[in-house]
């Protein structure tokens, strides 16, 4: 009888323990699941909310830039304009999206250019639609798998760009005309492949350093604000490769504006450069075929 009672106590104690663990786990996970569901619902953007693509004239001006200005690395030295650009690279596992960066850009009404890898778009369509839903943000092509383009075949180069063009266009209705090479690695072959596909290769003149895990937010702010100048294109990341970008971005935006810089999209810098050429870039190229950059470039 005593053994039976002891066994009953053990069973009862075990059942209470299991129930306690289950309730603790449920409480820990249920709020997060609900928040995730609500966030997903709140972040949804319908195709009807996607902004219209760039005016055709800006696209034509960009595609007509002389070869000597490619890759396009900066705007005019004579104008107080700076472009903030962000890469969305595919990362191992889930291609995370730092929505805080997008929120900062939209809340501060800061124009920006975001280069999307095709695989990143496929894995986070909601984030892509959010970025495409505001005219402050323009979308560019950042290849599909983010390979080292200098060691892949010509056919692979073309497929990386074509696939991403189709993915972005099918999802958003926008056709990118800007391309940034993965890792900042490019050559004439890659630039020409891009041109064949209606893409202008864009690089940068200020590398923020945000993929560096040793860069604190303060160091990031100091580095970017010291290096930025008239016409600069600053590169940062809008996914997990930007470690402290969201923390540093508000101060960077505020500093640049207080210094009198106008924050614009990369295509705006291109427009200013094209208009600085004699007769405008289209007329200039058609008339002379000249590849001389503008005097202020």
The tens place of each residue's pLDDT in the chain, 297 residues long, gives 445 444 455 444 444 333 333 333 333 333 322 233 333 334 455 555 666 656 677 888 888 899 999 999 999 999 999 999 999 998 766 668 999 999 999 999 999 999 999 999 999 999 999 999 999 999 999 999 999 999 999 999 999 999 999 999 999 999 999 999 999 999 999 999 999 999 999 999 999 999 888 889 999 999 999 999 999 999 999 987 778 999 999 999 999 999 999 999 999 999 999 989 876 544 333 333 333 323 333
Helix, strand, or coil here: 70?
coil
- Beta strands of 89-179 (E only): which ranges? 112-116, 137-141, 178-179
Distance (Å, whole) CA 1 – CA 7: 10
Distance (Å, whole) CA 98 – CA 283: 42
pTM comes to 0.78
CB 109 within 8 A of CB 253: no
In the chain, where are the structural domains located? 1-43, 50-288
Where b means 16+ CB within 10 Å and e means fewer, 50-66 reads beebbeeebbebbebbb
| pLDDT (0 to 100) of residue 68 | 92
For residue 56, give every residue at least 6 positions away whose Cβ sits within 8 Å of its Cβ, in sequence order, or none.
none
Distance (Å, whole) CA 198 – CA 173: 16
| pLDDT (0 to 100) of residue 94 | 66
| Helix, strand, coil % in the chain, rounded to nearest 5 | 55, 10, 35
| pLDDT (0 to 100) of residue 53 | 57
| pLDDT (0 to 100) of residue 95 | 64
| Domain at 50-288, CATH homologous superfamily | Glycoside hydrolase/deacetylase (3.20.20.370)
Distance (Å, whole) CA 94 – CA 105: 23
């Amino acid at each position: 009888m005593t053994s039976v009672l002891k066994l009953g106590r053990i069973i009862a104690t075990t059942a209470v323990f299991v129930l306690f663990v289950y309730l603790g786990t449920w409480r820990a996970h249920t709020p997060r699941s609900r928040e995730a569901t609500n966030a997903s619902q709140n972040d949804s953007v319908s195709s009807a909310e996607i902004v219209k693509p760039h005016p055709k004239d800006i696209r034509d001006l960009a595609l007509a830039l002389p070869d000597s200005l490619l890759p396009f690395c900066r705007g005019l030295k004579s104008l107080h304009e700076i472009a903030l650009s962000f890469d969305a690279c595919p990362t191992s596992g889930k291609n995370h999206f730092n929505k805080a960066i997008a929120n900062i850009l939209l809340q501060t009404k800061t124009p920006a250019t975001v280069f999307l890898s095709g695989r990143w778009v496929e894995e986070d369509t909601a984030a892509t639609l959010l970025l495409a839903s505001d005219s402050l943000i323009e979308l560019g092509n950042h290849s599909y798998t983010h390979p080292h383009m200098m060691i892949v075949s010509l056919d692979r180069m073309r497929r990386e760009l074509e696939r991403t063009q189709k993915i972005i266009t099918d999802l958003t209705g926008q056709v990118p005309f800007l391309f940034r090479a993965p890792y900042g690695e490019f050559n004439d072959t890659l630039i020409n492949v891009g041109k064949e596909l209606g893409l202008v290769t864009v690089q940068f003149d200020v590398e923020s350093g945000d993929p560096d895990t040793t860069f604190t937010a303060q160091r990031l702010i100091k580095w970017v604000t010291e290096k930025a100048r008239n016409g600069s294109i600053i590169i940062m990341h809008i996914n997990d490769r930007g470690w402290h970008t969201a923390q540093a971005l508000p101060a960077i935006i505020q500093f640049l504006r207080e210094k009198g810089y106008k924050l614009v999209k990369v295509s705006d810098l291109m427009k200013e450069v094209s208009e600085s050429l004699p007769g405008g870039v289209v007329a200039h190229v058609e008339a002379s075929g000249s590849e001389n950059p503008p005097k202020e470039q």
